[in-house]
């Protein structure tokens, strides 16, 4: 085997391993999801199912939220800390990009969604949770 071919094979192997490691890192649940705090949406005064979500100390609580599929869901998010990555709540599969106010509450009403699990994260995708529509 020539030196050039050995270098090319080594570079290809390193690239494959790097891609594999990146995919595994994205698939691995964060500590926040692994130590799940369960929550369930309940009907609000206007009949829309509502859940209170708190962002503090680098995590969302609850970080596993159960809601009824096919009905709107109001997320009321209170942000206690000003961690840089917690200033936005993203749920891309539901079209959510919600700016959050440190020390305040923000809410959004999500349109009805079909049964399934939908990831929500901070802007940097480090703080995570999941909406489970049942």
Question: Which residue intervals of the chain are DSSP H helices?
Answer: 3-27, 31-34
pLDDT in tens, 29-79: 444 445 688 999 999 999 999 999 998 888 889 999 999 999 999 999 998
- Which helix H or strand E contains 113, and what residues bound it? none
| Structural domain boundaries, residue 95 | 31-133
Instruction: Supply the pLDDT for residue 72.
Output: 96
Does residue 75 fall inside a structural domain?
yes
Poorest-pLDDT segment among 9-13, 33-37, 98-102: 9-13
Instruction: Supply the pLDDT for residue 16.
Output: 46
Instruction: List the structure tokens of 60.
Output: 């969302």
C-alpha closest to that of 110 among 122, 118, 102, 101: 118
**What's 58's domain CATH number?**
2.60.40.420
DSSP letters of 33-54? HHT--EEE-EE-TTS-EEEEEE
Does residue 4 fall inside a structural domain?
no
C-alpha closest to that of 44 among 75, 21, 22: 75
Does residue 88 fall inside a structural domain?
yes
The distance from CA 68 to its chain's CA centroid, rounded to whole angstroms, is: 19
Instruction: Supply the pLDDT for residue 95.
Output: 93
Does residue 20 fall inside a structural domain?
no
Instruction: List the structure tokens of 4.
Output: 């050039």
DSSP letters of 75-90? EEEEE-S--GGGGEEE
Does residue 9 fall inside a structural domain?
no
Instruction: List the structure tokens of 51.
Output: 């859940």
- Provide the whole-model pTM: 0.70
* Domain count within the chain: 1
For 22, phi and psi rounded to 5 degrees?
A: -65, -45
CA distance 58 to 16: 32
């Amino acid at each position: 085997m020539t030196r050039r071919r050995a270098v090319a094979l080594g570079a290809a192997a390193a690239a494959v391993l790097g891609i594999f490691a990146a995919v595994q890192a994205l698939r691995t649940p964060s500590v926040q999801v692994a130590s799940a705090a369960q929550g369930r949406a309940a009907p609000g005064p206007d009949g829309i199912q509502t859940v209170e979500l708190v962002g503090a100390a680098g995590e969302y609580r609850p970080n596993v939220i159960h809601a009824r599929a096919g009905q709107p869901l109001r997320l009321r998010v209170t942000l206690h800390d000003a961690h840089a990555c917690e200033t936005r709540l993203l749920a891309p599969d539901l079209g959510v990009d919600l700016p959050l106010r440190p020390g305040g509450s923000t809410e959004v009403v999500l349109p009805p969604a079909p049964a399934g699990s939908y990831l929500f994260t901070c802007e940097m995708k480090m703080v995570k949770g999941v909406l489970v529509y049942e």
